Structure 1
Amino acid sequence: MLSVVMTVALAAAGSADAWHDEILWRGAQVRMNATTHESYTLTGPFGRRDIEGQPLRVDTASAMFNGLFAMAQDELKQDSVSAIRDGAFDHGQPIPCTCFETGAKWPYVWTRDLSYSIDLGLWAFDPLRARNGLHFKLSDVRDSSLRQGLYVMQDTGSGGSWPISTDRIVWFLGAQHLLDDKAFADDVYRALGDTLAQDRQYVFDANVGLYRGETSFLDWREQTYPAWTANNVMFIAQSYALSTNVLHYQALQLAAHLADARGDTLKATDYREQAAALKTAINARFWRADRGMYMSYIGGDGTPYDTYDLLGTALTITSGVAEGDRARQALAHYPTWPAGSPVIWPERADQPIYHNRAIWPFVSAYALRAARAVDDSERIAHELRSIVRGAALSGSNMENYELTTQSTHVDEGKLSGPVVDSPRQLWSVAAYLDMVSEGVFGLTQDGRVEPKLPVSLVPMLFGDRDRISLKTADRTITLRRPRALHGNLLVADGVTQHGTETVVMLKAINAPSMPLRLDAPLYAPASPATPTVTADNKGWRVQVDDKVVLYADGQRIGAVDGSTYIAQVATPPCVSATRIAPNGLESLHSPTICAGEPTRLAENWPRQWTPPVSGRYRVALSYANNHGPINTGITAAVKILVMDCDGSAAQRVPIVMPHSLGEQRSTYGVVTAKAGKVCRFELEQGFNMSDLSHFAHYTGGKGGVDGPLNDARIGDLLIEPTAGAP
């Protein structure tokens, strides 16, 4: 019989909405019936779904919770295949692979989807398929003239893939769990060294201390980046993303650990120092004190962008990059809605629903992990309920949902969405399984049992029971409820082992927990028009069309209405503008415009230049790359620009030339030069994804079956003075 204290606590925790057999949401009703001890029937707006018993079982007071765990296992079985296919590879013919496919609509293996899914626990469900899938995303080099190695593949993407998109490093987040196989572990260590070295050469900026490239998984550029990147991704290639840098930090930590295990002390020390420096740079560059959050990305000159993403925030916390009060603030200040947490914030009023205005269960699972890391009981419960509700309402673990309704489709004309969605999406399946095993039962990645269960979930999970359990392939975890619930979070009070059963006696504690941020404005204002900059005897005159906030060379200048002057300085400024809404939200930036005209060097290589004054200079190329569309492909052109000035060591900077619509500027590098010294420029061949052997199977565009292609039509070499590193 329940104590009086327990009865009162359960009522306060919301037992009227316990989700035992049904969920009611915005007029929709979903019911779960247990047809046998292990089988279930789910009915709702989608119709009816019969769910067979599965090898792993949970025994709680909620048939809904138990049945959805069985459904996730059933969907993992459906995603477990012997062949994969995609229209852009081998002309859509099946490719043998005993592995996981990505989802009902995506019968292929993608680097980021698989890696996040494995990290969310699939490594323990089927290690063979997990390893096979990861192996499929490794490749050697097919061009014998280039540096050989074993590399992780960046899938087709923005501007022709890597190094515009640079989150292939996420591969190691999944691979780290599967090192008990020696042959696989050897491949991981080799690929880790080669991939990190290549990224260090092509995308690491030593002046800033960060890696360049696109946000991880948020790869539909105009959904999350300024609208003007739709047809020009140079900004993305030049910028720095929080999530991608945190993934590099985690890869460097793994490299240090593996080097130590192999007795390579020098390498381990080097990797550890790189990781420590990167952690410092992330905290210095991305933290926005006035928001109490980490920005999703910043410009190539350090310009801050008032935009945030949940995956980057969660990874920053779970990786240990964010610590203490800063970690708690970052999660607590990230807004959420009754249905769940958006993958980006603020939203874009002019974009359809996909990454914009959407909940993605796999990201919610990482947010749940982050909430556990900081003992945020309200956020744990909120993300957990979002994952459960989404699967129940849809009758499947869908890839994404609209933010305010948690629907798989909202009709709003051109803004309708989610634009793309899929049942049994692998990382959503993984999210549900991880939510149960770690989120409820506390089964951590290293096999420890550390439950952190919000008291508000006791009515759903325990009902009038005194225990709940999870039965895995080789063990049973039983959680026993305390008699009194004087607190907000249940944690382990004692752990005993009875054969293969681990019994955890729970106790209630009061963990500091900030209330959910449910009152944030939804949309950011639209970006303003590009400023104009002219020179006169007062300095640099900047003209804007409206009341805006002006930025110059990465620094905030202040509010401007009409026009202002930037004091005459030796280096012409590069400026952009934002708009501030009455609610305080700041828009994304206008395009950046630089005052003055660059020095242009034409003709054949080598090209020669004599600096007029000593200082730092930006060097870039005018080019055209028509080898593929802006949104996909593998033929971003990558070169190394070598500057050799009399009496000085040669300076080498990577130059990236993404797919373009006509002629535009490449990314830039920063070099130093002394006045009067003759400088000669050479252009060396770089590396792109078409150089990997795997892409010999690519039939969806150039650089595939017809051979590697790393080229662009190159025009002038552009040189202009710069104020220096941000």
Structure 2
Amino acid sequence: MAVAVACALACVSTAWSTPSVAAESTQWRQSLEWRGQTASVEPQPGGGYLLHHAAGDRRVAVQPMTSDTASPLFDGLFALAQAELDAAKVASITDGAFERGQPMECPCFETGEKWRYVWTRDVSFATDLALARLEPERARASLRFKLSGAREGAPADARFVAQDTGSGGSWPISSDRVVWFLAAQHLIDGNDEDSRRFADEVWQALNDTLAQDRRYVFDAGMGLYRGETSFLDWREQSYPRWTANDVGFIAQSFALSTNVLQYRALRLGERMARQRGDARAQQYASQAQALAAAIERAFWREDRGLYMSYIGTAAHPVPFEAYDLLGLSLLIDSGIVPADRALRALSRYPVLDSGSPAIWPQQPGTAIYHNRAIWPFVSAYSLRAARAVGHAPRIAHEVRSLMRGAALAGSNMENFELTTQAVHVDDGALSGPVVNSPRQLWSVAGYLDMVIGGVFGVQADGRIDAKLPAELVPMLFGDRQTISLQLPERRVTLRRPRKLSGDLLVAGKQHVDGADTVIDLVATRGAGTSLAHDAATFAPRSPDAPVIDEAGTQWQVDLPVQTRLYENGVRVADATEPTTTKLPKQAAEQCFSLTRIDARGLESLHGPTRCVGDAQIITGNWPRRWSAPQDGRFAVRLDFVNHHGPINTGITAAVKWLEVRCADQPSQGGVLVMPHGEQRQRSSAVTFHAPAGAQCRFDLRDGFNMSYLSHFAHYTGGTGGESGPLNSAELGALHLVQVADPGNPSVIPAKAGIP
């Protein structure tokens, strides 16, 4: 079966067909066909719809909002999404890791049919997509559930967004909790009492969370925030396989999506500060501007015309041949990206007939979940990005993918296998999607956003900015002159132009009559005309760590066949056949890793990093002392074992603050992060400067982790919950090594290398 699926992947990757788009669109009025399966919708007498899908029939009652098009399929699926949103409204939520699985009162949205809880990431993306405009009161309640004071480690009046349980013990390994502000920004401008109260809560949480993240996850040398990719939080799916047992690398790496979310939070801070006449407005503006420049500089990969999903650590900031559609879409939607790069990147991010993959390239030997998969909510963000740049083919592509998935499954599923758009594909040990849930909240929200914002162009602020691909006109209009959308507060009608030319219909004249708005569409030519079609391509397997031997004043590094060698983040050698290369020894630490290159020039994810350099060991009681052997910059890491939870979950990543005091020098310091793990490992690094002969003192004090939040007093799935905060590990020796001086512009400063 694995061979057959692999063959199918290779074959489908070149099977993109475009010749009968108009004919295909007309077929989608009542029904659609896909890989031998059919889905259709029948309008019912008195209202409502009957959906015939691959697994049976489903009746959908009349809903508050209606679309009136030439396609009962389109109209019926819009009703289905509303029905599934209604089913997600609950009075209480449950999760096995909280309150021992007992219900917790919360007038919230649950995450899915199989996910009866509220997670920060899920509810935030869903709220940003649609919930804020459709259900503001319940959306606020859901977001409030993820807002927390501290039971220890912070002032009594402080408020923080909770980072859910995750890799290595949660924050700061996973650090995308600021996605909460992407949602909250839509719910603070109302004139009602709850909106005003919520705005005050957001302002408090924004200041406290941004300050905490600035202290614990911001790397001043890189100008970026550390931590895991947002949403792609199952490390074996999109990170190198060796991170399955080493999340320290993830904690010290830099992710595109997470940094874009930090940027958006900073811009919200700027806006709210200006509204309040608060002096922090300029601080947030400056930080956002600098972060935007750092994102553009760090993640753009010119040879691919794409933005990388993540890069390596500050000590070894290697580029990764890893791209994800959510990060790219959020980046484009943020307005950070130059218009030409935005269009180029979106055009080059590949697709199949079925839809757009969550990640690219696909990773070999990895089960279907984020890998080899379509995620509808990500497709909805891709649709937003396509609208932002006027890319008609991608807009149409995402609309069809969202419709097809919901129609064939009879629900807005969590995810689909990439080539078949099936809810499950049998591929032995790689079968999947491994987990899949009907009426997944962000998928439901993504579908609603596709209809309201994507097709009819109604924006969150009420503006109508229609950008409708001409190729969807046969499906949606048929022989009609208008299509309409009835919202709770208004009716929007789109009128087609008399003559279709170009590939995109945009909003022209607007006629308003009370609650009715009629938009005359104007035919034009969009900015994008093509899509790449190799979405099912697999990357090569990652190589092992490089073998490094000492050879006098040089390091001798073995390069296996078809590999590439990186030193301190810079590509230094390629090998088409097995060979050995020699590199000069430096006084500072040098970090090396390998990638494998296939015949197409596609690069694997990096193998493990190996760093070499003369290290000094410092043991004994705290405070520990050391004398600088020469003037320079040094990195210090701490041996540890953190047995307080499994490597894939929990809230007890150990986080300590290391203060370094050297004679006649200002106090220096930084964060040591120590994730869960069964083996002894080394923490993240703190770097500092010391003059020759200086006597230095190292003091260790507690930092902050998620167990300090009162939110997690209800956590019963591991340590640090109901029994109280826990921020500890078995501590060993300090390892100290000289690193490159950041004053040298040709060398990246070592901040967090992997030994």
Q: Which TM bucket (shorter chain)?
A: over 0.9
The answer as to whether partners of 2:587 and 2:613 remain within 8 angstroms in 1 is: no
Amino acid at match of 1:298: I
| From 291, 299, 308, the counterpart of 1:286 | 299
Amino acid at match of 1:395: G
The answer as to whether partners of 1:18 and 1:459 remain within 8 angstroms in 2 is: no
Give 3-state SS (helix, strand or coil) of 1:14's partner.
helix
Amino acid at match of 2:370: H
Q: After superposition, where does 1:44-443 map in structure 2 within 5 Å?
A: 44-143=53-152, 149-179=158-188, 180=190, 181-264=195-278, 266-301=279-314, 302-443=317-458
Amino acid at match of 2:622: W
Which residue number in structure 2 is paired with residue 6 of structure 1? none
Stretch moving more, 363-372 or 506-515: 506-515
| From 463, 470, 476, the counterpart of 2:478 | 463
| From 645, 649, 660, the counterpart of 1:632 | 649
Distance 2:348 2:313 in 1: 26
| From 528, 538, 555, the counterpart of 1:523 | 538
Gaps of 5+ in 2: 1-18, 743-747, 749-755
Q: C-alpha displacement at 1:127, in angstroms? A: 0.9
Which residue number in structure 2 is paired with residue 7 of structure 1? none
Give 3-state SS (helix, strand or coil) of 1:387's partner.
helix
- Closer, same or farther in 2 for the Cα pair 1:12/1:522, shift >3 Å? closer
Q: Percent identity?
A: 55
Distance 2:642 2:386 in 1: 44
Amino acid at match of 1:608: R
Q: After superposition, where does 1:22-37 map in structure 2 within 5 Å?
A: 22-36=31-45
Does residue 595 of the first structure (1) align with residue 604 of the second (2)?
Answer: no
The answer as to whether partners of 1:306 and 1:587 remain within 8 angstroms in 2 is: yes
Give 3-state SS (helix, strand or coil) of 2:508's partner.
strand
The answer as to whether partners of 1:82 and 1:96 remain within 8 angstroms in 2 is: yes
Does residue 618 of the first structure (1) align with residue 635 of the second (2)?
Answer: yes
Distance 1:553 1:512 in 2: 39
Distance 1:620 1:122 in 2: 44
Give 3-state SS (helix, strand or coil) of 1:714's partner.
strand
Give 3-state SS (helix, strand or coil) of 2:137's partner.
helix
Amino acid at match of 1:113: D
Q: C-alpha displacement at 1:617, in angstroms? A: 1.5
User: After superposition, what is the alpha-carbon deviation per residue over 1:669-708, rounded to whole angstroms, capped at 9, x for unaligned?
Assistant: 2222211101110001100000000100000000000000
| From 52, 73, 93, the counterpart of 1:43 | 52
Distance 1:489 1:147 in 2: 54
Q: C-alpha displacement at 1:600, in angstroms? A: 1.0
How many residue pairs match? The answer is: 717
Q: C-alpha displacement at 1:576, in angstroms? A: 0.3
- Closer, same or farther in 2 for the Cα pair 1:148/1:531, shift >3 Å? farther
Distance 1:423 1:334 in 2: 27
Q: C-alpha displacement at 1:375, in angstroms? A: 0.1
User: After superposition, what is the alpha-carbon deviation per residue over 1:387-410, rounded to whole angstroms, capped at 9, x for unaligned?
Assistant: 010000100000000000000000
Distance 1:148 1:267 in 2: 19
Distance 1:520 1:129 in 2: 37
Give 3-state SS (helix, strand or coil) of 1:196's partner.
helix
The answer as to whether partners of 1:530 and 1:544 remain within 8 angstroms in 2 is: no
Give 3-state SS (helix, strand or coil) of 1:23's partner.
strand
State the TM-score, normalized to the length of structure 2.
0.93
Stretch moving more, 587-596 or 145-154: 145-154
- Closer, same or farther in 2 for the Cα pair 1:148/1:640, shift >3 Å? farther
User: After superposition, what is the alpha-carbon deviation per residue over 1:586-640, rounded to whole angstroms, capped at 9, x for unaligned?
Assistant: 0000100011342111111111111212112111111000000000000000000
The answer as to whether partners of 1:547 and 1:562 remain within 8 angstroms in 2 is: no
Stretch moving more, 511-520 or 92-101: 511-520
User: After superposition, what is the alpha-carbon deviation per residue over 1:283-330, rounded to whole angstroms, capped at 9, x for unaligned?
Assistant: 001000111111000011321111100000000000011121011111
Distance 1:669 1:191 in 2: 28
Q: C-alpha displacement at 1:11, in angstroms? A: 7.6
The answer as to whether partners of 2:554 and 2:585 remain within 8 angstroms in 1 is: yes
Distance 2:535 2:58 in 1: 37
Give 3-state SS (helix, strand or coil) of 2:41's partner.
strand
Distance 2:29 2:536 in 1: 33
The answer as to whether partners of 1:103 and 1:426 remain within 8 angstroms in 2 is: yes
The answer as to whether partners of 2:662 and 2:697 remain within 8 angstroms in 1 is: yes
The answer as to whether partners of 1:72 and 1:432 remain within 8 angstroms in 2 is: yes
Amino acid at match of 1:645: C
Does residue 450 of the first structure (1) align with residue 465 of the second (2)?
Answer: yes
Distance 1:546 1:609 in 2: 44
- Closer, same or farther in 2 for the Cα pair 1:605/1:11, shift >3 Å? closer
Gaps of 5+ in 1: 1-9
Amino acid at match of 1:440: V
Distance 2:58 2:253 in 1: 46
- Closer, same or farther in 2 for the Cα pair 1:397/1:11, shift >3 Å? closer
Give 3-state SS (helix, strand or coil) of 2:294's partner.
helix
Q: C-alpha displacement at 1:546, in angstroms? A: 3.1
- Closer, same or farther in 2 for the Cα pair 1:145/1:98, shift >3 Å? closer
Give 3-state SS (helix, strand or coil) of 1:612's partner.
coil
Q: C-alpha displacement at 1:139, in angstroms? A: 0.4
Distance 2:157 2:480 in 1: 60
Q: C-alpha displacement at 1:547, in angstroms? A: 3.2
User: After superposition, what is the alpha-carbon deviation per residue over 1:162-199, rounded to whole angstroms, capped at 9, x for unaligned?
Assistant: 00000000000000000021100000000000000000
Distance 2:227 2:323 in 1: 16
The answer as to whether partners of 2:99 and 2:714 remain within 8 angstroms in 1 is: yes
Distance 1:77 1:145 in 2: 38
Q: C-alpha displacement at 1:545, in angstroms? A: 3.5
Distance 2:20 2:552 in 1: 73
Q: C-alpha displacement at 1:38, in angstroms? A: 2.7
Which residue number in structure 1 is paired with residue 722 of structure 2? 705
User: After superposition, what is the alpha-carbon deviation per residue over 1:17-66, rounded to whole angstroms, capped at 9, x for unaligned?
Assistant: 43011110000011111113531101121101001000000000000000
| C-alpha RMSD of matched pairs (Å) | 1.4
- Closer, same or farther in 2 for the Cα pair 1:291/1:570, shift >3 Å? same
Q: C-alpha displacement at 1:160, in angstroms? A: 0.2
User: After superposition, what is the alpha-carbon deviation per residue over 1:247-290, rounded to whole angstroms, capped at 9, x for unaligned?
Assistant: 000000000000000011x2000000000000000000100011
Q: C-alpha displacement at 1:94, in angstroms? A: 0.7
Which residue number in structure 2 is paired with residue 4 of structure 1? none
Q: C-alpha displacement at 1:88, in angstroms? A: 0.5
Q: C-alpha displacement at 1:95, in angstroms? A: 0.7
State the TM-score, normalized to the length of structure 1.
0.97
The answer as to whether partners of 2:120 and 2:146 remain within 8 angstroms in 1 is: yes
Amino acid at match of 1:450: D
Distance 1:635 1:308 in 2: 30
Which residue number in structure 1 is paired with residue 692 of structure 2? 675
Q: C-alpha displacement at 1:12, in angstroms? A: 6.6
Does residue 476 of the first structure (1) align with residue 485 of the second (2)?
Answer: no
Give 3-state SS (helix, strand or coil) of 1:214's partner.
coil
The answer as to whether partners of 2:669 and 2:687 remain within 8 angstroms in 1 is: no
Which residue number in structure 2 is paired with residue 3 of structure 1? none
Amino acid at match of 1:281: A
Distance 1:247 1:223 in 2: 21
